[in-house]
């Protein structure tokens, strides 16, 4: 189970999340290469926080379409801390050159980030923005700034152990509220510059509450306990990798296929097997189930 903290202050709202278990589950399901799981894990982590801005049964989907080897990723999240996704070319990676670990942005490349919010209305909201770096965090921040006019800081990280399992994963997202003061913005920018990477904070054993305090800690004050401004934590909740597929859902999709096409499939083999992209679970149907 991952954990998420949500809160706000006069000038900003924030989301802080530990997604180690979510990213490990994604790695187990999709068998990603080291750099691919860093990219996909960051997208899952960003999505979980973005999902916190949803209500009720809303769904939010992030889709990347880029020119790198990892050219497509799709992640869907709900308002209840559930997230799932899939990606193309999950096993590809870049070579380690001169001992330097490949960058996420080099595997993902440049392209577009599509954000789809299904709020139960006739048409979903669709926002498209450029993937400016392929590093995911910056790309989500860029989306918020250009499509929703919300200045945001999005920091995401995934680290792996020498056993290639997920060691730490998580992130934080800080969004300025309308009319945020210049002095708050200046202090926040200065703070973000000196913050250690998210995976290091988690590796050091820092709690999500501790990270919130670190973000709001006033560096200009000699008093160690002084905050830039007071903040409230509204919620601390569990988040997880969750797929809600079922045989019935696939059945509903399959019966929309042309009957002749289905018959054709069953002349070649006795069973039609379908696989869920999100969790790799397989469901099989015999002719009687679909053609009665």
Instruction: State the residues that interact with Zn ion by CB under 5 A.
Output: 243, 245, 276, 278-279, 281
Q: Distance between CA atoms of 149 and 228, rounded to whole angstroms?
A: 24
Tell me whether residue 44 or residue 160 sits nearer to Zn ion (CB atom): 44
Phi-psi region of 234 (alpha: psi -120 to 50; beta: other; left: phi over 0): alpha
From the CB of 263, what's the least distance to Zn ion, in Å?
27
Tell me whether residue 237 or residue 281 sits nearer to Zn ion (CB atom): 281
Q: Distance between CA atoms of 59 and 151, rounded to whole angstroms?
A: 22
Q: Distance between CA atoms of 78 and 71, rounded to whole angstroms?
A: 24
From the CB of 275, what's the least distance to Zn ion, in Å?
9
The one-character DSSP state at 48 is H
From the CB of 53, what's the least distance to Zn ion, in Å?
24
Query: What is the distance, to the nearest Å, from the Cα of residue 186 to the centroid of all Cα atoms in its chain?
Result: 27
The one-character DSSP state at 245 is -
Tell me whether residue 216 or residue 250 sits nearer to Zn ion (CB atom): 250
From the CB of 118, what's the least distance to Zn ion, in Å?
18
Tell me whether residue 29 or residue 169 sits nearer to Zn ion (CB atom): 29
Residue 122: how many other CB atoms lie within 10 Å = 4
Can you give the three-state secondary structure of 136-168, one letter per residue? CHHHHHHHHHHHCCCCEEEEEEEEECCCCCEEE
Tell me whether residue 202 or residue 279 sits nearer to Zn ion (CB atom): 279
From the CB of 149, what's the least distance to Zn ion, in Å?
35
């Amino acid at each position: 189970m991952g954990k998420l903290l949500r809160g706000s202050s006069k000038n900003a709202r924030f989301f802080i999340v530990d997604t180690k278990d979510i990213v490990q589950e994604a790695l187990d399901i999709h068998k990603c290469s080291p750099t691919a799981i860093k990219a996909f894990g960051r997208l899952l982590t960003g999505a979980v926080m973005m999902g916190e801005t949803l209500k009720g049964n809303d769904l939010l989907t992030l889709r990347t379409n880029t020119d790198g080897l990892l050219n497509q990723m799709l992640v869907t999240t709900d308002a209840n801390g559930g997230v799932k996704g899939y990606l193309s070319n999950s096993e590809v990676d870049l070579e380690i050159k001169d001992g330097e670990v490949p960058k996420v942005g080099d595997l993902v490349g440049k392209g577009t980030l599509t954000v789809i919010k299904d709020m139960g209305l006739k048409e979903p909201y669709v926002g498209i923005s450029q993937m400016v770096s392929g590093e995911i965090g910056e790309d989500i921040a860029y989306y918020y700034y250009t499509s929703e006019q919300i200045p945001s800081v999005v920091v995401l990280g995934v680290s792996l152990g020498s056993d290639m399992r997920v060691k730490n994963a998580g992130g934080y997202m800080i969004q300025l509220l309308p009319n945020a003061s210049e002095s708050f913005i200046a202090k926040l920018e200065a703070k973000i510059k000196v913050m250690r990477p998210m995976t290091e904070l988690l590796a050091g054993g820092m709690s999500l509450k501790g990270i919130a305090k670190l973000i709001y800690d006033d560096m200009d004050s000699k008093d160690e306990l002084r905050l830039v401004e007071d903040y409230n934590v509204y919620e601390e909740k569990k988040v997880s990798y969750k797929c809600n597929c079922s045989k019935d859902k696939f059945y509903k999709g399959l019966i929309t296929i042309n009957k002749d096409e289905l018959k054709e499939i069953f002349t070649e083999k006795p069973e039609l097997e379908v696989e869920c992209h999100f969790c790799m679970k397989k469901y099989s149907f015999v002719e009687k189930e679909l053609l009665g």
